[in-house]
Amino acid sequence: MMKKVELSLKNLDEVFPDEFTEEQKARAKTIFLKKLAELSHRFYNGKIQTVPKAAVFGFNWFNVWYTPGVSKISTTIRDDNDTSFELSNRGNLVAVVSDSTRVLGDGDCTPPGGLGVMEGKAFLMKYLGGVDAVALCVDSYNEKGEHDPDKIIEFVKMCQPSFGAINLEDISQPNCYKVLDTLREECYIPVWHDDAQGTACVTLAGLINALKLANKKIGDVKIVYLGAGAANTTIARIILAAGGDPKKMIMFDSKGGLHAGREDIKADKRFYRKLELCEKTNPDRISDFAEACKGADVLIALSKPGPDTVKPEWISSMADKSIVFTCANPVPEIYPYAAKEAGAFIVATGRGDFPNQVNNSIGFPGILKGALMVRAKKVTDNMAIAAAYSLANYAEKRGIDPENIVPKMDEANVFPEEAADVAMQAIKDGVARITMTREEAFKIAKRDIDYARNLTASLTENGYIKSPDQDMLQDALKWAVDQVQ
């Protein structure tokens, strides 16, 4: 008899056949979540809508919200563009921009193929951070049929008057480097690449607490990175800024270890972020991954989805109390149970259905909220590091252990705390247009996050957001079990 999946999905680890192995259960869970995503997105026709936040008390209020009254808003903003942050939703509005060339682990999905992820980003931004967001998937092809980073740059510059911040997402390398670095300097609102800076922030938060539990210091540990894309190269850069020792770092791409002798990277100037790491790290020029893992304290993998990308024997060769972050999506490079069996002390992945979700979902809602509240001109690396320590400290205060090193998305108070810390760092870094106290920042963020959550709950309770029926969940479960058996 088929077991019943709860609508909350809290019993997801218990619904698969008892005879399934741990690997089969992990595979079935992935398939189930993908199938349920397909069914539920069809049921809701996406997951974001536009809802007015101003009331209509009578017919003449249309003349206030639109013509003739709204003319005063236009001329006021014309005379002082910064008033747009107060007189429109711009001050709490983010554009989630992508050309969909590197969507999760699925690669180039065509421009509209990224809408599911970008709407998901907008969904989390609203529910977790109290921030409104719009998914904008753009066509970056030029006349030669190539993805052109300059087209994304031009698009963002053109639309920035409508937004308080830009969240770049799922842009393939090397284009993502040029897009981010150019826009960070040339835009007058924050431009944030969540795949890179967001993942780096949360990874650092997890590493801070993992090292505390292992009784190790960030400047002393040997760190091996598998994958040299936008995420891992930024993670390495942020860890270096937080005190990591470049001489004890080794990063690997598909051609081997990054080091000063990599002429192929030197020859392609588009990969300048990788070149920076070639010049700073791996002084012994180690090119064999198995050799690099020997005695390593930390492995951070954001590479090819597994579960066989990282071998158990590599983990077994690591140092005592090793820390393993395998964060490929949607399937980690090795499943947590296998990494633990191989001797890992702490294992983290990018998924919420395993312990220790090191995923940017606990980063970007609070970080962007913090930046928006003080009308920051950019998100500095210091702001990302401040967010990492905010997350780590929040988790430590409520208690950490090897299975619980970072906050979870359902810990609502972590986001206003993070937003307040980021806002304070923006003021300290001199990129904020307005100032406020930390207490004021926390109260604003908490108010907006509570509003978003209560609005969603009210719409659900009153039937404006309908619940899927049990058959949908059971169909997804049956599909997953049949695929694995």
Question: What pTM does this model have?
Answer: 0.93
Q: Which CATH architecture has domain 88-189?
A: 3-Layer(aba) Sandwich (3.40)
Closest residue by Cα to residue 253 from 207, 296, 289 = 289
Which position has the token pair 């066989």? 308
Residue 98 has a pLDDT of 97
Q: Which CATH architecture has domain 196-436?
A: 3-Layer(aba) Sandwich (3.40)
Task: Assign 165 to helix, strand or coil.
Answer: strand
Other CB atoms within 10 A of residue 139 CB: 15
Task: Assign 224 to helix, strand or coil.
Answer: strand
Residue 1 has a pLDDT of 63
pLDDT tens string, the chain, 485 residues long: the values are: 678 999 999 998 899 999 999 889 988 998 999 999 999 999 999 999 999 999 999 999 999 999 999 999 999 999 999 999 999 999 999 999 999 999 987 889 999 999 999 999 999 999 999 999 999 999 999 999 999 999 999 999 999 999 999 999 999 988 999 999 999 999 999 999 998 899 999 999 999 999 999 999 999 999 999 999 889 999 999 999 999 999 999 999 999 999 999 999 999 888 889 999 999 999 999 999 999 999 999 999 999 888 889 999 999 999 999 999 999 987 899 999 999 999 999 999 998 888 999 989 999 999 999 999 999 999 999 999 999 999 999 999 999 999 999 999 999 999 999 999 999 999 999 999 999 999 999 999 999 999 999 999 999 999 999 999 999 999 999 999 999 98
User: Residue 468 phi/psi, 5° resolution?
Assistant: -65, 155
> What residues act catalytically?
66, 121
Say how far apart CA 90 and CA 98 lie, in whole Å. Answer: 20
Say how far apart CA 252 and CA 277 lie, in whole Å. Answer: 11
Instruction: Give, in order, the Cα–Cα distances in Å from 374 to each of 5, 323, 368, 430, 438.
Output: 43, 36, 10, 11, 11
Instruction: Give, in order, the Cα–Cα distances in Å from 449 to each of 15, 417, 438.
Output: 33, 11, 16
Where b means 16+ CB within 10 Å and e means fewer, 299-338 reads bbbbbebbbebbbbebbebbbebbbbbbbbeebbbbbbbb
Residue 203 has a pLDDT of 97
Say how far apart CA 430 and CA 423 lie, in whole Å. Answer: 11
Query: Are the folds of 88-189 and 196-436 the same?
Result: yes
Contact present, 225 and 289 (Cβ < 8 Å):
no
Query: What is the DSSP code (8-state) at residue 137?
Result: E
Closest residue by Cα to residue 441 from 454, 428, 453 = 428
Where in 182-268 does DSSP place strands (E)? Answer: 191-193, 223-226, 249-253, 256-257
Domain-wise residue ranges, the chain: 1-45+453-485, 88-189, 196-436
Where in 209-337 does DSSP place strands (E)? Answer: 223-226, 249-253, 256-257, 298-301, 323-326
Cross-strand bridge partners of residue 253: 256
